[in-house]
Amino acid sequence: MFDTDEILKTGAFGDLDSDTVKVMLEEASKLAEGPVADAFESTDRVPPTFDPDTHDVSLPQALKDSVNAWTEADWEKLGVTEEVGGIPAPATVSWAINEFMCGALPAGFFYLAGPAFASLLYKNGNEEQKHWAQMAVDKNWGATMVLTEPEAGSDVGAGRTKAIDQGDGTWHIEGEKRFITSGDSDDLFDNIFHYTLARPEGAGPGTKGLSLFVVPKWHFDSETGELGARNGVNVTSIEHKMGIK
C-alpha cells in the first residue's frame, strides 16, 4: 500500500533495500518480544516513585533495562536526520519498528524522544543549537515536550509560563507545567532537554505569542557538553494520566 520497496529503489535512503528492511524488522521484533516485553508485567506492578525532598523520580529497573536494550540497538535513531547521527529510513519503516516497542512496552516508548526532538532542533535552530542537537544524540540525552499548564490544556494559547530575556542569548523561564510525559527519567539519561513553550515578555496573546525554548535538566558546556550545575526545573509530583501509570 505504501510502496516502500519503490521508495527504497530511488536511493534516497542510501544502500537500504527491502532485504535489509526485512532483517531489521525481524531483529527489532525479537528484541521487542524478548527483553522488552519481559518487563511489561513488572513495570505495570511497580510504578515510578517520587521523592518530594529531592524532587527525584525513580523508575522501575525493568523499565530502564528495556529502554536501554532498545537504545543500545539504536532503533530510536531510525528515520532521524543523518546530521545529528540518525539512521536514514522511510517513515513506513521507522514507524513499523516503533510499533514493536509500543506494543511490547508502551511506557518504555515514552522515553525514546531524544533523537527525534534533537532532529527538530537541528532543522530549526541556529548554529549553536544545531551543535546542541548533535551532542544530545551522541550523548543519548533524553527529551520531553512541555506544553500543558494547570489553566492551559487543550487551549495551549492560554499558557502563562513567562520567558525573560537575559540579554546574553539565554532566557529565564518562570511558570508551572503539568502532565509532562516522562518529565524525569531517573538515571536513564545524563541530561534531558525539556522543549518548553513559554511567552516572551511583551509577546502577544494566544499561540502566536508563544515561543519554544530548550530547558536542560542540567546546565552544560555548549562546546563539549560537559555537565554543570542543576538547572532550576524540577518535578513536583507524579501525575496519574489516563492510560499512563
- pLDDT, one tens digit per residue, over 105-134 is 999 999 999 999 999 999 999 999 999 999
**Which neighbouring-strand residues pair with 213?**
196
- % of the chain residues with pLDDT over 90: 91
CA distance 120 to 190: 20
Which contiguous run of DSSP H or E holds residue 35?
none
* Angle between helix 91-104 and helix 18-31 axes, rounded to 10 deg: 10
Question: Could you identify the residue written with the cell 532543522?
Answer: 123
Q: Can you list the domains of the chain with their CATH numbers?
A: 4-112 (1.10.540.10), 130-230 (2.40.110.10)
CA distance 36 to 103: 10
SS3 71: helix
Distance from the first to the final alpha carbon of the chain: 35
Whole-number pLDDT of residue 115: 98
Whole-number pLDDT of residue 116: 97
Q: Which of 107-121, 146-160, 165-179, 228-242 has the lowest mean pLDDT?
A: 228-242
pTM greater than 0.85 (yes/no): yes
CA distance 225 to 134: 10
- Give residue-wise pLDDT tens across range 46-71: 889 999 999 999 999 999 999 999 99
Q: Which of 160-164, 180-184, 211-215 has the lowest mean pLDDT?
A: 180-184
CA distance 194 to 81: 20
